[in-house]
Amino acid sequence: MLETDPVDLLIADESLEVTEGARARKVLLLDAPALVERAREVADEVIVWCDDLRERELVPAEVLVKDLSAALTGVDLVWLRLPKSLGALDEYAELVATHADPEVRLVAGGRVKHMTLSMNEVLQAHFGSVNASRGRQKSRVLHARLPYPADPTWPRGKKHADLDIELWAHGNTFATTKVDAGTRVMVDKLGQVGKLVGGGPSTAATEGGALQILDMGCGNGILATLLAKRFRTANVMASDVSWAAVEATRLTAAANKVRVDVLWRDGLTDFADNSLDIIVTNPPFHIGNTKDSTPALEMFTEASRVLRKGGELWCVYNSHLPWRARLNELVGTTKVIDQNPKYTLTRTEVR
């Protein structure tokens, strides 16, 4: 059983206080995998949706849902861990208000230091009644009821004429339909990607001789799509732990009429040794609201395994991070291609 924290406990406790202990018919847990057992105590049916694959893999398979909109039918109670992104909150609130039971109650909790009044405003756009709890253990809950059903506004698309690309996003997609500043640094140098491997596979072992390229942590799919446009005969793949990123990348690739093999996947574990020629990545140094460089450093180690000798690892990251030294140590010779006070772009040649 997953360990609960003060936010989880407050969500459950306040929910029971508001309903005076009345049993729910069907409860949905949104990005709240640790609350499965508590939810089973108060509801006839429990279903779970997690955007993050790592959280999803910790939940019993029988309660996981694949189609959130369809699964919301009959839901009269929702327990939500407040997401970092207002877009994610907006899409969740829109879906609940439109597809759940008209009597649904949404109970959304978070750490006070990460909560803003904008979260209340987002919920007020979808519910007639929104109020906040007093809080406990530096955590607080927002209660919403009286939903306003509406036509869907997510996913959303935006054309970027300067890059000749149309980007699509769900609410929880990193940067939504924008080109974030870090990714822009890499976009401006994409013309140099593949030079070390001569624009072709770094060994003759590739099936059909096609270049094997992976955009790891694909977000809205901008890098994978631009690379698929440039390398028309390559096998371009894109992966992310976020469902919102994976679905956004599929939409972006389709809108731009390119083929990208999109994978909902955590890390590089499922890739064979010496199977890739190029990896491009804007690796995270947060998990949710918590700073954590562990996944990125693990990825560097795995990259040295899955990339062929002479292959390329392209990374853009915050300039204060000491990752050039780690890349030299873990992967191969690393060169700074571009740098500004906020972001550094490196290319590593696998040894």
| 294 band by pLDDT with thresholds 50, 70 and 90 | confident
Share of the chain above pLDDT 70, in %: 94
Is there a single domain that holds both residue 178 and residue 137? Answer: no
Residue 129 counted as domain residue = yes
Q: How high is the pLDDT of residue 205?
A: 38
What does the angle CA 290 – CA 5 – CA 14 come to, to the nearest 5 degrees? 120
pLDDT confidence of residue 20: 78
Whether 290 has a pLDDT exceeding 80, the answer reads no
Rg of the chain over all Cα atoms, to the nearest angstrom: 22
pLDDT reading at 173 higher than 60? yes
Q: Could you report the per-residue pLDDT of 126-166, keeping only the tens digit for each?
A: 999 999 998 999 999 999 999 999 999 999 999 999 999 99
pLDDT of residue 242 exceeding 80, the answer is yes
Asked whether residue 108 is domain-assigned, the answer is: yes
Q: Among 147, 181, 213, give the residue marking a domain's end.
A: 147
Question: Which one is predicted more confidently, 21 or 88?
Answer: 88
Residue at 1 is within a domain: no
Rounded to whole angstroms, the Cα distance separating 186 from 291 reads: 22
The answer to the question of residue 56 being in a domain is yes
Residues 31, 119: one domain?
Answer: yes
Domain count, the chain: 2
Residue ending a domain, among 107, 122, 147, is 147
Residue 63 lies in a domain: yes
Structure confidence at residue 283 (pLDDT): 83
Residue 321: CB atoms within 10 Å:
15
310 and 296 in contact (C-beta within 8 Å)? Answer: no
The answer on 329 and 181 residing in a single domain is yes
Same domain, 163 and 141: no
Residues 164 and 283 in one domain: yes
Residue 293 reports pLDDT greater than 90: no
For residues 142 and 213, state if they share a domain. no
User: Which residue, of 100, 119, 147, is where some domain finishes?
Assistant: 147
CATH number, residue 89: 3.40.50.150
Instruction: Write the CA distances from 345 to 65, 130, 202, 255, 334, integer angstroms.
Output: 38, 44, 22, 28, 10
Establish if 196 belongs to a structural domain: yes
Residue 249 in any domain: the answer is yes
Given a contact cutoff of 8 angstroms between Cβ atoms, the answer to whether 250 and 218 are in contact is: no
The pLDDT tens digits of the residues spanning 27-53 come to 999 999 999 999 999 999 999 999 999
Q: Which residue would you say has higher pLDDT here, 201 or 167?
A: 167
User: In which domain, by residue range, is 194 found?
Assistant: 156-350
Whether the bond into 341 is cis, omega within 30 of 0: no
According to the model, what pLDDT value does residue 206 have? 46
Q: Is the pLDDT of residue 203 over 50?
A: no
Do 65 and 188 share a domain, yes or no?
no
Residue 193 and residue 287 in one domain:
yes
Is there a single domain that holds both residue 112 and residue 244?
no
Q: Does residue 113 have a pLDDT over 80?
A: yes
Q: Is the pLDDT of residue 256 over 50?
A: yes
Shared domain check, 331 and 201: yes
Residue 321 lies in a domain: yes
Instruction: Name which of 203-212, 214-223, 241-250, 324-333 the model is least confident about.
Output: 203-212
- Looking at the structure, do residues 209 and 100 belong to the same domain, yes or no? no
Mean pLDDT (the chain, rounded):
94
Identify whether residues 113 and 207 lie together within a single domain: no
